[in-house]
Chain A
Amino acid sequence: MTRIELTVNGEKRSDEVEPRLLLVHYLREVLGLRAANVGCDTTSCGACTVLLDGESVKSCTVLAVQAAGHEVLTAEGLAPEGELHPVQAAFRQNHGLQCGFCTPGMVMAAVGLLRENPHPTEAEVREGLEGNLCRCTGYHNIVRSVLGAAEAEAQVTA
């Protein structure tokens, strides 16, 4: 067992973990943060996406021990309870989710994308989400949601 210390959604954590514990399972089983989901075995689907030091990563392919000393942000931590982050609000506005299984990962990937590219074209949104799979929406409204969030942020900062 290894002791790790890290910050998750702004809160400091200290836990003993098996070296092989995947970050996604640390978040889900140790911390009870179950928004991130496991959808595949091959780092393909992105349902587990969280932000690590502000950058999107697939938490199924990060060991909890690798996250020690770093900051993790999950969908639960994007906005205070009862509120929606602009990206979350845009997904709701544009019906960018149906069954919801891919959604927290998709939202975190979108947040990461917009941090690096605040004004993406549609093509850049689709490429930016190439690591996130969705079976329900056909991606159409997900793209609308991300473009909508980008426009909303642009208006806020304008």
Chain B
Amino acid sequence: MSILGTRVLRTEDPKFLTTGGVYTEDVVDERLAGACHVFFVRSPVAHARITGIDVSAALAAPGVVAAFTGADLADLPVIPPSMSGLMNAEMKQTLLATDKVRYVGEPVAVVVVEDPYQGEDAIELVEVDYDPLPAVLGFEPDDSSLLFEAAGTNLAGRWGDPAALEADLFDGCEVVVKQTIINQRVAPAPMETRAAAAVWGEDGRLTAWVPNQGAQGTRDDLLERLGLEAGTVRVITPDVGGAFGAKFGADPEHVIVAWVARHLGRPARWTETRYENLIAMTHGRAQQHTITIGGSKDGDVQAYRLEIIQDAGAYPKIGAILPFLTMLMTTGPYKIDKAESVAAVVVTNTTPIGAYRGAGRPEATAAIERAIDLFAVEAGVDPAEVRRKNLLPEFTEPHQTKFGALYDTGNYVAALEKALDAAGYQELRTEQAKRRASGDVRQLGIGLASYVEITGMGDGPASPPTENATVEVHPDGTATILTGTSPHGQGHATAWAMLASDKLGIPVEKITLKWGDTDLIPEGGGTGGSRSLQQGGAAVQQAAEELIEVARERAAAELEANPADLIFDASRSAFAVAGDPEAAVPLTRLAEDERLVVRTVFSAPGATFPFGTHVAVAEVDTETGKATLTRVITVDDAGIVLNPLLCEGQRHGGIAQGAAQAFLEEVLYDADGNPLTTSFADYPFLSATEVPSFELANMETPTTYNPLGVKGIGEAGTIGATPAVQNAIIDAVSHLGVRHIDMPATSRRVWQALQAATTSASENA
């Protein structure tokens, strides 16, 4: 029986449970002996000119080795905006702010100390003079106070052309609803903050330990930011305590730690505090949507428009280009004859926006799922029925959307029905009706979200998604896999071992996975965008298969047989002559005289599209507005499931983060651009008491794009949960006249919506 599809426990776990993971701050290495510690002085104002920096008092403090400002880094390249062909090229960033600061938390100076306990003492002594400028915040284009004078505008770029929107798109629609909604700024907040350790060798090479989502990308960023030649940087990836999209590449801080190490000629280390993490790690989401949806009174959706404004924060980074993905997924799983979308990207005096679990796709789903519910209420049709009527019918051949996405396989209606059935949808509506009739203080809301999302997308049509893997079998009966992925909790060490074990017959416990060391694995796409299993895992399986073929030749020589007459029996991990099982040679024997190792590259035809439906059940206390999430039932179909234990874990984690955005978490700024959510006491990071146990229903619609039949599951849970929970809370009070509540649907927002609905009802009476 194959191990694939079974609940193999993680081989990683004993270490994590006892001595703990070895995260960057934990790394003990002789190369880092005598390291100094880097601390950052960060801007306390959102927008200002820097008129002076005085580090003299800091330099005199105990244990201070050095202090640096932007002037010291003047010969390093400036960081261009992401996709500077599409984003305003003047929106550049220096590693340390020089003439201006553009967000609270922007690094302005560096103090280096002998002992980490001296660092906070020392940075307090750095004096920076700021000449404040008006802060620009929010989604309304506002050029009154320019972040980048040379750009002449705070509009970083556009996707699509607003002038090309069709004025008559909704002509003929019996029902039209328009609403502006916010997909609010959230903090990725992985439990491990950012960190770095760096040392330069006598050979002039940099070795950097950095928690990341792809060592190769981090290495390339360090090469570029430090103006170095290829081959001079080695990145080593320790255990990473979560990332969620915010640990790609190298941030200015990582680069500066490396620069300090070179400048001082000694190893340098840095660990970010949670305060720094909440204001200076990239934030997520921050899109405003104007959604317009139209259709017939019986629930047929005929037209949809999505107008996006992306708040990119102070510097255009990954967040500035996410609207491209949002627009790609405009119509999601629905067949809507007429649909269009546009996006504008603005810079504001806030923390830059980066990728955050789902990265552009949750926004698309949240917008259309809100639109579907608004339409359903207006048309007076059950929201499940509206979805049922408008979802694309099942398809097994790739389906091209007019937004440029090629969906591989999909069965959206089946996912909807399965989720509704698992939730007991009719019983829920009955209970809801009962409570409405009795005027119960605690009302029940049922929220749906049907979604499709894009995973494993590669770098675009010209460069299809690929990943490499190397598999080696050792004479002692063990095996090693090298992967270009970069796990940070996903369990690749176990999953990739399962794939190799299945082919080679070597037990999972005897297979070691290596990743994240660019000297060992110079190429790789890392882990993000839910790509790893469908590309990295497929590569491992492919490498194992190719290894068997290499071994076959050796076995044939060994057994003096024709290779075509040999059968590889994975259950024995041996080749045998067909019809003569005694004439056999174990695989490990074939590794004794010459290394038995294969490196391969798996190439996928394109991105895959997992899909599903989430059903959320919420109780709202109509006197206080407080919502309690009581049930979440999901179908998340990401094709064949390799390891149900790991797959469920990804779904759980995604659902929790998605739910958290819907009713709890938000990064807040005051009117001057000062962040208000700068600790876990203020930023309402989801805890165990706010969510129930989740109910997962299973569906596996394979893809044909890889031999495993798998799509990506890492982000799907987040994408479905957010709108399902938001819709549930609104549904709980929709009978009282509430049509929309922005996220997070806090008790205050719900109560205010109830007040407004009551006021408007009495005004209209």
Which residues of A pack against B, CB within 8 Å?
18, 20-21, 25, 28, 32, 34-42, 44-45, 47, 75-76, 78-79, 81, 84, 88, 91-93, 95, 97-104, 107, 122, 125-127, 129-130, 132-144
Question: Which residues of the other chain, B, contact A134 by a CB distance below 8 angstroms?
Answer: 191, 688
Known: A88-B17, A93-B9, A138-B655. A99 touches B688 (CB 8 A): no
CB-based closest 4 A-B pairs: A138-B656, A101-B241, A35-B20, A99-B489
Whether the Cβ atoms of A84 and B17 lie closer than 8 Å is yes
Whether the Cβ atoms of A103 and B117 lie closer than 8 Å is no
CB-nearest residue of chain B to A80: B18
Q: A103 to B489: give the CA distance in the assembly, Å.
A: 11
The winner among A21, A42, A101 for most chain B CB atoms within 10 A is: A101
Whether the Cβ atoms of A34 and B20 lie closer than 8 Å is yes
Q: Is B680 an interface residue (CB 8 A)?
A: yes
Whether the Cβ atoms of A99 and B240 lie closer than 8 Å is yes
Which of B161-208 touch A at CB < 8 Å? 189-193
Q: A151 to B530: give the CA distance in the assembly, Å.
A: 35
Q: A35 to B192: give the CA distance in the assembly, Å.
A: 13
Known: A42-B681, A139-B688. A133 touches B191 (CB 8 A): yes
Q: A20 to B193: give the CA distance in the assembly, Å.
A: 23
Whether the Cβ atoms of A76 and B691 lie closer than 8 Å is no
Q: A32 to B645: give the CA distance in the assembly, Å.
A: 33
| Nearest Cβ on chain A to B677's Cβ, whole angstroms | 12
Which residues of B pack against A, CB within 8 Å?
9-10, 12-14, 16-23, 25-26, 28, 117, 189-193, 239-242, 244, 273-275, 488-491, 645-646, 648-649, 652-657, 679-681, 685-689, 691, 693-694, 717
Whether the Cβ atoms of B679 and A41 lie closer than 8 Å is yes
Question: Which residues of the other chain, A, contact B693 by a CB distance below 8 angstroms?
Answer: 122, 140, 143-144
| Nearest Cβ on chain B to A8's Cβ, whole angstroms | 14
25 A-B Cβ contacts within 8 A? A20-B117, A25-B117, A34-B19, A37-B20, A37-B191, A37-B192, A37-B241, A39-B274, A42-B681, A44-B680, A45-B274, A45-B685, A95-B646, A95-B649, A99-B190, A99-B488, A100-B20, A101-B191, A103-B16, A130-B688, A135-B189, A135-B657, A136-B191, A137-B653, A138-B717
- Name A99's contact: one of B22, B241, B656, B689 (CB within 8 Å): B241
| Nearest Cβ on chain B to A34's Cβ, whole angstroms | 4
Whether the Cβ atoms of A39 and B191 lie closer than 8 Å is yes
Known: A92-B9, A92-B10, A133-B191. A45 touches B17 (CB 8 A): no
| Nearest Cβ on chain B to A131's Cβ, whole angstroms | 8
| Nearest Cβ on chain A to B750's Cβ, whole angstroms | 22
Question: Which residues of the other chain, A, contact B242 by a CB distance below 8 angstroms?
Answer: 98-99, 101, 135-136
Interface SS, A side: loop
Known: A79-B18, A99-B242, A133-B191. A40 touches B645 (CB 8 A): no
Whether the Cβ atoms of B17 and A103 lie closer than 8 Å is yes
5 more A-B residue pairs beyond the given contacts A98-B490, A135-B191, A136-B191, with a C-beta to C-beta distance below 8 A = A92-B9, A99-B239, A130-B687, A140-B652, A143-B688
CB-nearest residue of chain B to A46: B687
Whether the Cβ atoms of B689 and A41 lie closer than 8 Å is no
| Nearest Cβ on chain B to A56's Cβ, whole angstroms | 15
Known: A41-B274, A95-B645. A135 touches B190 (CB 8 A): yes
Q: A41 to B19: give the CA distance in the assembly, Å.
A: 23
Question: Which residues of the other chain, B, contact A107 by a CB distance below 8 angstroms?
Answer: 17
Known: A35-B18, A138-B655, A138-B691. A95 touches B648 (CB 8 A): yes
| Nearest Cβ on chain B to A133's Cβ, whole angstroms | 6
Q: A47 to B242: give the CA distance in the assembly, Å.
A: 13
The winner among A21, A40, A135 for most chain B CB atoms within 10 A is: A135
CB-nearest residue of chain A to B241: A101
Q: A104 to B21: give the CA distance in the assembly, Å.
A: 9
Question: Which residues of the other chain, A, contact B694 by a CB distance below 8 angstroms?
Answer: 138, 140
| Nearest Cβ on chain A to B327's Cβ, whole angstroms | 28
Question: Which residues of the other chain, A, contact B10 by a CB distance below 8 angstroms?
Answer: 92, 95
Whether the Cβ atoms of B241 and A100 lie closer than 8 Å is yes
Whether the Cβ atoms of A91 and B17 lie closer than 8 Å is yes
Whether the Cβ atoms of A41 and B273 lie closer than 8 Å is yes
Q: A81 to B18: give the CA distance in the assembly, Å.
A: 8
Whether the Cβ atoms of A103 and B20 lie closer than 8 Å is yes
Q: A133 to B681: give the CA distance in the assembly, Å.
A: 12
Whether the Cβ atoms of A100 and B489 lie closer than 8 Å is yes
Known: A84-B18, A92-B17. A141 touches B117 (CB 8 A): no
Whether the Cβ atoms of B14 and A92 lie closer than 8 Å is yes
CB-nearest residue of chain A to B273: A41
Q: A140 to B490: give the CA distance in the assembly, Å.
A: 16
Q: A138 to B652: give the CA distance in the assembly, Å.
A: 5
Q: A143 to B649: give the CA distance in the assembly, Å.
A: 12
Whether the Cβ atoms of A42 and B489 lie closer than 8 Å is no
Whether the Cβ atoms of B489 and A136 lie closer than 8 Å is yes
Q: A102 to B490: give the CA distance in the assembly, Å.
A: 15
Q: A129 to B571: give the CA distance in the assembly, Å.
A: 44
Q: A28 to B491: give the CA distance in the assembly, Å.
A: 26
Known: A99-B240, A138-B652. A35 touches B19 (CB 8 A): yes
Question: Which residues of the other chain, B, contact A133 by a CB distance below 8 angstroms?
Answer: 191, 680, 685-687
Whether the Cβ atoms of B653 and A138 lie closer than 8 Å is yes
Question: Which residues of the other chain, B, contact A103 by a CB distance below 8 angstroms?
Answer: 16-17, 20-21
